[in-house]
Amino acid sequence: MGLCLKQHQGQCGQQERMSTMYRERVGVVILEGGQPTDLVEQQMVSVRRGMTLDAIAKLRHIPEIDVIYLSTNYPELATAAAALGAVVVPEASPFHFGRCLQYVINQGQLDGVIYMGGASCPFLTADEFRQMARDLRLRKNVVYTNNPQSADIVAFTPAKAINEIDLPDNDNILPTRLRQGAGLERIFLPHSVGVHFDIDTPSDVLVMSLSPRVEPYTRQAIAALNWDNSRLRQALNHLASPESHIFLAGRVNPWTMQHIGMYYRSHLRVISEERGMRAMGRAERGEVHSLLAFLLEQLSPQGLIDYISSIADAAFIDTRIIFAHFRLSLSEGQRFASDLGWLDSIQQPFVEELTAAAFNAPIPIILGGHSLVAGSMWSLVDTLRFADGQVQLPVAYNSQTIELGHVWAGRSLREAFLSGGLEGEVIGVQSGGKWFGAPLPGSTVLRPGDILYTRG
């Protein structure tokens, strides 16, 4: 790995060496790897690959960021990332999160570092990354994070603080180690959908599939999955309705509840429990206790789902709390199969029974992990607000209202491209108050009142 980084440093040229004389060197380190063993894990990897490439494509145009490092054991991802300008560091085996991050930071001689996983914060804007890089130069001995107990993105300076801590084996507790071990001041990143949303489970991918913010590589990967998001669309409609009752259960944080309540008036019924169960080691030590799991024991899986269906119009359930409560030893593939309702792939009777009951319920019940009842809820609210005209896409996108008499009115996308002067990449169309994201067929007709979003 050392040879790779040293060769890069030797090729940076006089211009970069001169620039580092006048300002501190701030870099982004992305760690993305794994050992997928079954179909659903491989499909998740394909989405994460798209997200990683989209992140690099966004970061490379930010002048405040000097270098982007990617450590991965995926050869195809490494090749594509290098083509986009990332410095690729082969992942050491066996992989250890803390040692890998430490190695890249030290070999890259970074003064400030923004760390993220390949599936972290896909909706974080270029402006938010730019501000982080600026803050790392303006402030000293600080660590920025989106979550104190389950971090997805961590920015800190001095970068050499990584050498003063007990290196963690996962990114969840990195901010805490830097605060306690290196004495860095912890600062929370300002709330936004970009800061809170990340991909942990298939349910998060389905949530992402509804968002107008999805970028090209990721959008292509999601489209290739052909996963059904109809139940999630039903749940989203209920979330928007002031008459609906929404049930949330799991590691729900207060900011998520506040965010939903700030913009939409659906009635929330919430069971928030076991936040930080992984970061604090409670899950590993078998100390997780769940009220929802206790009710499940009393009522049976079908009984619990029947009861939830009687008090709510839609439900979002963090099942990892339940699995930990019952000390179930499940593979990632089994958990993901439950999220998607793939009963034949679960191969665990209790989880099969619970999953079948949820997917056969008279209301849309969405199963997932921590991110489902946290960042994914932020994304769903953001999607609704976009459809309502409350928020706009980043400036990288162009919008065009198709007014009566417009040259594209009544014409298909194909016709608009061929003879109507339409250029760039179509991101989606907002029509009749609904969002239709790419890929869109060339036969899609643009009508007066539609808003067409493109990039490039």
pLDDT tens, position by position, 201-240: 999 999 999 999 999 999 999 999 999 999 999 999 999 9
Determine the structural domain holding residue 142 and report its residue range. Answer: 23-196
pLDDT-derived band at 419, boundaries 50, 70, 90 = confident
| Domain finish residue from 350, 384, 418 | 384
- Whether the CB-CB separation of 139 and 189 falls below 8 Å is answered with no
Give me the DSSP letters along 293-327. Answer: HHHHHHHHHHHHHHHHHHH-SEEEEEHHHHHHHTT
Q: What total of structural domains would you count in the chain?
A: 3
Does position 12 have pLDDT exceeding 60, yes or no? no
Is the domain of 237 the same as that of 380? yes
Q: Which of 295, 280, 300, 416 is nearest to 356 (CA)?
A: 300
Give me the DSSP letters along 20-77. Answer: HHHS--EEEEEE------SHHHHHHHHHHHHHHHHHHHHHTT-TT--EEEEEES-HHH
> For position 224, what pLDDT does the model report?
94
Does position 291 have pLDDT exceeding 50, yes or no? yes
Q: What is the 3 state secondary structure string of 179-243? A: HHHHCCEEEECCCCHHHHCCCCCHHHHHHHHCCCCCCHHHHHHHHHHCCCCHHHHHHHHHHHCCC
Q: Which two tokens stand for residue 426?
A: 């179509």
Distance between CA atoms of residues 168 and 53, nearest Å: 26
377 SS3 class: helix
Residue 3 covered by a domain: no
- Whether the CB-CB separation of 11 and 99 falls below 8 Å is answered with no
Residue 14 covered by a domain: no
- Whether the CB-CB separation of 40 and 337 falls below 8 Å is answered with yes
Is the domain of 260 the same as that of 160? no
pLDDT tens, position by position, 101-136: 999 999 999 999 999 999 899 999 999 999 999 999
Distance between CA atoms of residues 88 and 68, nearest Å: 9
Residue 220 covered by a domain: no
Q: Which two tokens stand for residue 203?
A: 């349910």
- Whether the CB-CB separation of 308 and 340 falls below 8 Å is answered with no
pLDDT tens, position by position, 321-365: 999 999 999 999 999 999 999 999 999 999 999 999 999 999 999
Is the domain of 208 the same as that of 148? no
> For position 20, what pLDDT does the model report?
38
Is the domain of 38 the same as that of 150? yes
Is the domain of 185 the same as that of 320? no
Distance between CA atoms of residues 229 and 124, nearest Å: 23
Is the domain of 38 the same as that of 85? yes
What does the DSSP 8-state code read for residue 363?
Answer: S
Does position 45 have pLDDT exceeding 50, yes or no? yes
Lookup result for tokens 């972290």: 120
> For position 395, what pLDDT does the model report?
60
User: What is the rounded average pLDDT of the residues 10-18?
Assistant: 41
- Whether the CB-CB separation of 375 and 197 falls below 8 Å is answered with yes
pLDDT tens, position by position, 19-33: 334 479 999 999 999
Residue 4 covered by a domain: no
**To the nearest whole number, what is the mean pLDDT of the chain?**
90
| Domain finish residue from 340, 363, 384 | 384
